[in-house]
Chains A and B, each alone.
Chain A
Amino acid sequence: EVQLVESGGGLVKPGESMRLSCAASGFMFSSESMNWVRQAPGKGLEWVATIAGGGLSTFYADSVTGRFTISRDNVNKSLYLEMTSLTGADTAVYYCTRFATRVGAFDVWGRGKLVTVSS
């Protein structure tokens, strides 16, 4: 079964850092681009970051460029999001998603992890 399971998240103070992880299973992880998409409470979906299968290419939304870093470990089939200088605007559920090239869309989603930035 194709599955993505996020871990990490929780409450963090403004200006602090947090790392999210995502464990993948059931597919050839190293062949697929992986992404983080977030959703603020009661709001819509926002793409955050993408990393290519080999890990050499990364892309970020302007809202997180310079503060967030996406990375992956293809041996352990894991995706990460390192978040620094967090603000209240970063409060959201963060979803790990697969962007399958043959599909051209986010075809697999994790259940998401809530990150709350508050003093």
Chain B
Amino acid sequence: EIVLTQSPDFQSVTPKETVTITCRASENIGFSLHWYQQKPDQSPSLVMKMASQSISGVPSRISGSGSGTDFALTINGFEVEDAATYYCHQSSDVPWTFGQGTKLEIK
């Protein structure tokens, strides 16, 4: 099983700040890494696919990078609406797995 480890688990963010979440895979997964945003009492929603491919309707301040085992999701100019828990997910091999989540809150 491919293990995904996110860092940090929690971060308090000031509006307009740039924040980066990382996700490390236990083995090479190429570009098969995706990011989801989940707000309280809502379903997760896809915000980045294939490491760095943007999703229609997702603000351009959210970007992704990485390949192989190390990935990152960056929010440039954090806004109140970005406060949520973010999960990475690998679709390189079954069982598909998720990171443990990173909760971003407004400072």
B-binding residues in A (CB < 8 A)? 44-47, 50, 59, 61-62, 95, 99, 103-107, 109-112
Contact = CB atoms under 8 A, between A and B. Distances in A.
B44 interface: yes
Given A106-B36, A110-B43, A44 B100 contact: yes
Nearest to B101: A44
B interface residue count range (under 10 / 10 to 19 / 20 to 34 / 35 or more): 20 to 34
A56 B97 CA distance: 22
Interface of B: 32, 34, 36, 38, 43-46, 49-50, 55, 87, 89, 91, 94-101
Given A45-B89, A109-B43, A109-B44, A103 B94 contact: no
Contacts of A99: 91
7 contacts: A45-B36, A45-B101, A46-B98, A50-B94, A59-B94, A99-B91, A105-B50
A35 to B, nearest CB: 8
Contacts of B50: 104-105
